[in-house]
Amino acid sequence: MQQVYFDNAATTPIREEVIDVISEVMKSSYGNPSSSHSYGRSSKVLIEKSRKTIARYLNASASEIVFTSGGTEADNLVLVSAVRDLKVTHIVTSKIEHHAVLHTVEALEKEYKIQVSYVNLDAQGNVDYLHLKTLLDTERKTLVSLMHINNEIGNILDIKRVSELCKSYNALFHTDAVQSIGHYELDLSEIKVDFLAASAHKFHGPKGIGFAYIRKESGIKPLISGGEQERGLRAGTESVHNIVGMELALKLAYDNLNEESNFVNDLKEYFIKNIQKNIPGVKLNGQSADTKHSTYTLVNVCLPVSEKQASMLLFQLDLKGIACSKGSACQSGSNQKSHVLAEILNEEDLQRPSIRFSFSKYNTKEEVDFVIHILKAFIVKSV
């Protein structure tokens, strides 16, 4: 049976070079990086080298990179400390953020009685910048948390514009950049975000490792207490092999960015052209049909199938060896429909199946042809 992996927004396959370096570090550099002997010092050197490399690609200071278990922890670290320690009393976000942000904000609202404002969105899921400006016009200490690239529909936020707007109102700005780090170049000396979250497994690195960018002298305090690792901002023995694996994955992603992004973008355009040609009535959700205003890595399609027929679609695709998703992988155990699509689709389209297909350098046009053939056959059979 043919196997097609079109769920790269959930996680990406690890590059062979990354697997090799992880294995080598696990074998040869097993010392605890907090230990003072030579084994510990050699592990510590690897960590600090990785920190410097990652900072260099983002044009940031190495001291501003804090290693975490992934994007969710990085989001939580920033949001919780902003309210608890920086005395933020107003958070501005949107209703289509990842649940790592939305659920954390909801918990903070309940526990600390802060004000939470949700910025308006247009019919494609784009932020209303004029409304955002209105929300920032307040005496409250405010933090804005808006993701750079939406993980379900691929819309790209103008984070430079938002950062400048936040600065003009003396507000803090946090962005979940899990879907963009490794796929888009970000110059953090030019884009004045205060906080950023990233995760290695979204750019062909290992799972269980990521980082928070925390602008120097921000006042952020640790979420996890214990040792003094990560300059006191993240207790716990560092996962040396995963950190080094993430460093290499990021290096390879950016060193090959032009070639690989052009390849994947061509693949996305090929997918859009052929699904529209072969499946009349298909719709593309959000901005995902617009390669200038959405990420080149994914499309989200609404198929002309009834709700009853839709219930078996993902199961049938899986039986054919096709991996894709109806939304965030973090919601896969839930029967709830996408909270992102609920904000932008009409009631009729919400009853139809919407599927996210996300691509990487390891995919091919032949795989696109196969997937569209299977989709077309399913739809014809369902009519």
pLDDT tens for the chain, residues 1 to 383? 799 999 999 999 999 999 999 999 999 999 999 999 999 999 999 999 999 999 999 999 999 999 999 999 999 999 999 999 999 999 999 999 999 999 999 999 999 999 999 999 999 999 999 999 999 999 999 999 999 999 999 999 999 999 999 999 999 999 999 999 999 999 999 999 999 999 999 999 999 999 999 999 999 999 999 999 999 999 999 999 999 999 999 999 999 999 999 999 999 999 999 999 999 999 999 999 998 899 999 999 999 987 777 778 888 899 999 999 986 555 454 456 899 999 999 999 998 999 999 999 999 999 999 999 999 998 887 65
Q: Are residues 263 and 219 in the same domain?
A: no
pLDDT score, position 309: 76
User: HSE on the CB side for 335, CA within 13 Å?
Assistant: 1
Residue 91, number of CB atoms within 10 A of its CB: 25
Number of domains in the chain: 2
84 and 208 share one domain: yes
- Predicted TM-score (pTM) of this structure: 0.95
Please identify, among 255, 273, 300, the residue that sits at the C-terminal boundary of a domain. 255
330 is catalytic: yes
pLDDT value of position 383: 58
Which of 208, 236, 255 delimits the end of a domain? 255
Looking from the CA of 142 toward its CB, the CA atoms found within 13 Å total 25
Residues 245, 261, single domain; the answer is: no
CATH of the domain at 92: 3.40.640.10
Supply the CATH number for residue 337's domain: 3.90.1150.10
DSSP character string of 266-296: HHHHHHHHHHHHHSTT-EE-TTTT-TTTB-T
Specify the DSSP element, H or E, that contains 377.
Answer: helix 365-382
Within 59-141, strands assigned E span: 65-68, 90-93, 115-118
Q: Quickly count: other Cβ atoms within 10 Å of residue 94's Cβ.
A: 25
What residues have CB less than 8 Å from 116, skipping those under 6 apart? 90, 91, 92, 93, 105, 106, 109
Quick one: 249 and 275 in the same domain?
A: no
Which residue among 235, 255, 275 closes a domain? Answer: 255
Point out the catalytic residue in the list 166, 302, 324, 330: 330
Rounded to whole angstroms, the Cα distance separating 156 from 190 reads 18
Please name the amino acid found at residue 229. Answer: Q
Q: Is the same domain home to 70 and 189?
A: yes
Three-class SS state of 32? coil
Whose CA is closest to 208, among 174, 254, 243? 243
Domain identity same for 272 and 374? yes
Three-class SS state of 62:
helix
Whether residue 307 sits in one domain with residue 294: yes
Q: Which residues are CB-neighbours of 179 under 8 A, at least 6 positions away?
A: 9, 147, 148, 149, 150, 151, 154, 202, 295, 297
Rg (CA), the chain: 21
Domain that holds residue 196: 16-255
Q: Do the bridges between strand 195-199 and strand 210-214 make them parallel or antiparallel, or are there none, so unpaired?
A: antiparallel
Contact 155, 293 (CB under 8 A): yes
Same domain, 40 and 126: yes
Q: What helix, strand, coil percent values describe the chain, rounded to 5?
A: 45, 15, 40
286 within 8 A of 338, measured Cβ to Cβ: no
Q: What DSSP designation does 63 have? A: G
Residues 235 and 287 in one domain: no
Does one domain contain both 67 and 203? yes
Tell me, yes or no, whether 322 and 288 share the same domain: yes
Measure the CA–CA gap between 332 and 71, rounded to whole angstroms. 18
Same domain, residue pair 83 and 226: yes
Token pair, residue 196, equals 């950023």
